[in-house]
Chains A and B, each alone.
Chain A
């Protein structure tokens, strides 16, 4: 029971990363609750995807990139890997930048000073910290973000108005339809993060899941991810209540935290920033590891965080190089918030690449014996596949048309 609760809570903390913080903050301040549906659909998709990947891991003993290599043919698998690694490094850069921004916010020093130290700290976690310690400590600290729910009760929240706006979505006056859908896609991409699924399924292999683990594994996805989605909606609502009336255009992480100060003062801000740090730090470590996991699985190397680096040298080298590149990229003083927006939108476009092979294997009796997808799971997952395919066609044109949402 304790293990179950722990798993669910870390899944909530693990769901939220800089992508959710930034996109929920921006959309809440600009579009109010009119994009809630995007978070709901994205969360449902992530839940289906996570559950399927977890089941394939436990029953068929295969992580995402094992399946990619075995089912897509070697060329498509390699292109898939390249796309995944580029996106994971971009997301890693955004998380490292985000952590540095929060540290800068807390100390008043320019964030660039912190970037190399943050990169080094992420690498130390990957290099030395035990898997379970990392997951549990950071996952639980990430729950500090629940302070947004508290803030909503303190702020003069018009619950009925928020509810009405969420249930009757429309493009707000003064915003173009293309910007509206651009941010809808960014919310999908923030919710459905393939690096999280690669991490979830590879972590499952490290913890030796079998079919017998399914009762413990599935609640992580089926409960943890929806609760994480709820947390994203709470951030959106807080931004909508506190920032929208003043027409704040959210361009920094500090503005995302502003509703907390407004509602709860400095202690609210402090708790929130601890949540920011934990969520982004966990996400940074997950991104870095997912690079090593995906490359290691595609080429069949020894991989795993719980292996001594000497026993899995190429895995650790891949993680190290990913962190070094991401850190160097942020040091060029690109805006981490802009990097985040671009990375979630491109991430949304890339979802079908890893999602589709997992969906196929989850239907393969030869691998899954009696644990193949049920009829309703298949109906929902195919619907989501269709949506994400349409999304990936629309994402890049919208990125250019809206100049990344400006």
Chain B
């Protein structure tokens, strides 16, 4: 992280807000936190010494974490006026470690999307190419880090929402083990899949951020009651003898040939560093996407029921009765993609279809989990490309057929279904846009993937590449 002995927190935060304004066309922030941010930086400067590596570090927070007194919208019209009375645990911990909230970042509405195009607050540009998507759903966070406005941001990952935008923006993004980071205060999309994690330039920075964010939380009973190790402690271990699995079922033949080329080069680098590659089989992995698109919408259809216009958020005018209030407020408040998923989920849970969709999907999910468990008997981690493609132009995917966009998540979804940690790191450019490499770890073994990612970054310069920003 930044050694801030030569620069004060106040100077740093001023510079951050200046950059945010300079690049406001990127549209990566929904709400800024200027007054409070500057105030906090000032008080940090006045304190005697800082004990934390995050002290005074400006951070962007995905606009799905509740922040007390600071508008939290989930990039949805229905929450466009919502100011939470409390702060999410993950953000609270980062705040207590001394980081400063710069603002709340744009995202796909309620984290539903892979391109940030479903936001009520407009598209976010990819800093590498104007008019191209940054990926999603944590697109604003990824773009803010890639553009150099902040060095760290939070994201959430339900099916790839940290890793895919990290890949498309050429930065590092980590989805921890399900339950590693508390979900208290994270506005739920799909409760059994959602997980918060960091986006930063390097694996080392992600380790520092994960150290601060992790830990059991009594307010989230699904958070794991385990010790948080120091993720920096083992980050420098040599990777000699490391066994890396290549998943047989991910037929790399369908990939963009350039993405495939970067993947092979990454393999070569690891081999040169002494790692060993083993082909493994995850027989049920091909069912990941349909499984995910049964479970996630089902949970979302229930989670989003509370947005009814009664207690908070958007309420339609001139309604006749309670039903009319619900129908109008929700019809006006939710965007197309959110409505689509609520409908899919409602259908998947309805009487007569539950067994065929939701229940079956949970059974398949169990099988996928078992496949991973079995495979991790013979490897330390697994490696895939993060996304089959690089960033694409606004509106070029999914407009006619949403499934096309859902397939963006092919490589990332399975680790959410299995609850496993995974990281995306830059591994070179494809058609002048960044491409990402994904490392999947075993349960609670973030240390192993952070270590492997860090060693990769110590031996390559892909993570140092920065967009020119000349179009912004």
A and B held together in a complex? no
